[in-house]
């Protein structure tokens, strides 16, 4: 009897310690938050349907106003102070900037704590008016398709419904939740960049809601690439190509020389990519071309590398094939890179723990997987963490027929977003680098 009791006690001990070790390996999910995420899923799909139905390309002012009005209504319903801000006066313009930019949505919700959290998404798309007909909203199996649904309708939807969940929980431990939804992200944020940088510096953390990775790669990002375009213009002299070619200065010949002598500026070891992407020249077939132009697209991981490429190009274009040609360069800086910083990594790794609560694995790559985003401007002048990629998983951004989000990612991503905000607000998430 004695032995038997001992054995029962031992069995109980083993069971208890096994349970404890399992519990510590995978912390229990917050069941209330998890249930709310499941409940919000159909509502989020309805929101996506509504957002996809509005065409709002970066230059489609009417569509952007329509989208802005809808978002003001939705955020006001959530108790936010919502406004549309005109950023035209402060825009940094280049040759591709449209004359007038759409207004930016800012929604502010005040809580009872002191942490200030910035949530980012964008309402513009790369698509022209009329393209919705080729990519209407539709559900097919695990995927929801639609124009701009991954980039970045889903980001807006996740923010709206994560805040809805916080309200349902009566969670108000944050000081301020600021939502900024820009209208010029796809054209390099010429108007909203200053506001993004200012708000990034004023908040304790920035979570950006671009997509959370393609199928099979569930992630958030610590870094995004920076970009620039180097536009080389050659001026030559026109002449009849049949009767007096020797009187001309062939701008296309000179441009070809410039293109060839600047083909080697990429450096994969530091993530620097420099490629010629556009070229044109000449006027008609029987004239020695008096002008030609080519554009090099440059991507970097580090801010200083842009300056390096610019300096090299300025030096090299002095070496000409045709001494009488004039070669000029216009170096147009696009987005700065978002550089992976320890403080952002610490916050992202906290997100990884939150994701593990629901049995999911969140990847936190250091290197960018795609182009630049607004997170880079938010991170330009702050020591606070900035993490990109809190949106839904999906694929096919900037395509003409196949942009989609993964429906099974809705619940985990809502859970992640709501729990991140909760832990940052209540001081449980690190806002300084982990030693």
Query: Among all residues, which ones are annotated catalytic?
Result: 124, 185
Region near Zn ion per CB under 5 A, out of 42-50, 143-151, 283-291, 388-396: 143-151
Report in angstroms how near the CB of residue 152 gets to Zn ion at its nearest: 4
Which window, 9-17, 95-103, 206-214, 385-393, contacts Zn ion (CB under 5 A)? 206-214
Q: Nearest to residue 54, comparing CAs of 127, 158, 112? A: 127
Q: Considering only 8-16, 45-53, 144-152, 217-225, which stretch makes contact with Zn ion by CB under 5 A? A: 144-152
Percentage helix, strand, coil, to 5, in the chain? 40, 20, 40
- CB neighbours of residue 154 within 10 Å: 33
Q: Encoding tokens for residue 257?
A: 């020389």
Question: Based on CB atoms, which residue is closest to Zn ion, 30 or 219?
Answer: 219
Least Å from the CB of residue 12 to Zn ion: 54
Give the separation between CA 290 and CA 282, rounded to whole angstroms: 6
Q: Where in 208-227 is the site for Zn ion (CB under 5 A)?
A: 210
Positive or negative: CA dihedral 143, 146, 147, 151: negative
Q: Which residues, in sequence order, are bridge partners of residue 83?
A: 106
Closest CA relative to residue 56, chosen from 128, 7, 158:
128
How many residues bind to Zn ion according to rule CB under 5 A? 3
Closest approach of Zn ion to the CB of residue 148, in Å: 9
Contact characters 48-77, Zn ion, x per CB under 5 A = ------------------------------
**140 CB neighbour count, 10 Å cutoff:** 9
Closest contact distance (angstroms) between CB of 185 and Zn ion is 6
Type and span of the H or E element at 330: strand 326-333
What is the four-CA torsion angle of 401, 129, 398, 154, rounded to 10 degrees? -90
374 binds Zn ion (CB under 5 A): no
The residue among 152 and 184 lying less far from Zn ion, judged by its C-beta, is 152
Comparison of 151 and 218: residue with beta carbon closer to Zn ion:
151
Task: Between 197 and 224, name the residue whose CB sits nearer to Zn ion.
Answer: 224
If the CB atoms of residues 306 and 397 are measured against Zn ion, the closer one turns out to be: 397
Is residue 396 helix, strand or coil? coil
Part in contact with Zn ion (CB under 5 A); list of ranges 165-173, 205-213, 230-238, 240-248: 205-213
User: CA nearest 386: which of 371, 374, 370, 369?
Assistant: 374
We find the least distance from the C-beta atom of residue 210 to Zn ion, in angstroms, to be 5
Asked whether the bond before 152 is cis by omega within 30 degrees of 0, the reply is yes
CA atoms of 435 and 386, how far apart (whole Å): 18
In the complex with Zn ion, the residue whose CB is nearer, 152 or 423, is 152
- Determine the interface stretch with Zn ion among 57-65, 129-137, 204-212, 408-416 (rule: CB under 5 A): 204-212
* Residue 40 or 152 having the CB closest to Zn ion: 152
Helices and strands of the chain, counted as H and E runs: 10, 16
Pick out residues in 147-166 that bind Zn ion (CB under 5 A).
151-152
Cβ(71)–Cβ(105) below 8 Å: yes
Q: How far is the CB of 208 from Zn ion (least distance, A)?
A: 9
Task: Give the span between the Cα atoms of 333 and 45, in whole angstroms.
Answer: 37
Q: State in angstroms the smallest separation of the CB of 160 from Zn ion.
A: 17
- Residue ranges binding Zn ion (CB under 5 A): 151-152, 210
């Amino acid at each position: 009897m004695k032995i038997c009791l001992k054995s029962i006690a031992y069995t109980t001990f083993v069971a208890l310690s096994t349970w404890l070790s399992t519990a510590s390996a995978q912390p229990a999910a917050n069941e209330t938050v998890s249930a709310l995420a499941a409940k919000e899923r159909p509502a989020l799909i309805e929101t996506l349907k509504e957002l996809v139905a509005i065409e709002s390309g970066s230059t489609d002012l009417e569509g952007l106003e329509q989208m802005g009005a809808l978002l003001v209504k939705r955020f006001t319903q959530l108790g936010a102070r919502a406004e549309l801000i005109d950023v035209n006066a402060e825009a940094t313009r280049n040759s591709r900037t449209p004359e007038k930019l759409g207004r930016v949505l800012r929604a502010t919700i005040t809580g009872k704590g002191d942490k200030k959290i910035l949530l980012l998404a964008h309402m513009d798309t790369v698509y022209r008016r009329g393209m919705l007909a080729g990519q209407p909203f539709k559900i097919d199996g695990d995927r929801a398709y639609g124009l701009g649904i991954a980039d970045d309708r889903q980001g807006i939807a996740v923010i709206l419904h994560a805040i809805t969940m916080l309200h349902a929980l009566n969670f108000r431990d944050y000081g301020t939740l600021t939502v900024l939804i820009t209208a010029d992200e796809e054209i390099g944020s010429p108007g909203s960049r200053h506001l993004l940088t200012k708000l990034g510096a004023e908040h304790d953390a920035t979570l950006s809601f671009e997509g959370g990775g393609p199928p099979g790669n569930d992630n958030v990002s610590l870094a995004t690439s920076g970009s620039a375009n180097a536009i080389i213009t050659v001026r030559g002299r026109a002449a009849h190509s049949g009767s007096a070619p020797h009187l001309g200065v062939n701008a296309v010949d000179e441009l070809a020389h410039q293109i060839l002598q600047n083909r080697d500026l990429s450096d994969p070891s530091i993530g620097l990519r420099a490629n010629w992407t556009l070229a044109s020249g000449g006027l008609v077939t029987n004239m020695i071309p008096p002008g030609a132009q080519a554009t090099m697209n440059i991507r970097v991981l580090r801010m200083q590398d842009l300056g390096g490429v610019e300096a090299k190009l300025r030096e090299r274009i002095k070496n000409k094939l045709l001494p009488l040609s004039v070669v000029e360069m216009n170096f147009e800086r696009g987005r700065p890179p978002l550089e992976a910083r320890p403080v952002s990594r610490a916050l992202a790794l906290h997100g990884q723990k939150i994701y593990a609560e629901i049995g999911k694995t969140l990847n936190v790559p250091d290197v960018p997987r795609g182009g630049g985003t607004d997170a880079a401007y938010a991170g330009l002048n702050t020591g606070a963490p900035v993490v990109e990629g809190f949106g839904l998983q999906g694929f096919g951004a900037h395509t003409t027929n196949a942009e989609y989000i993964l429906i099974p990612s809705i619940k985990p991503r809502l859970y992640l977003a709501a729990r991140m905000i909760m832990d940052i607000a209540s001081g449980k998430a690190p806002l300084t680098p982990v030693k």
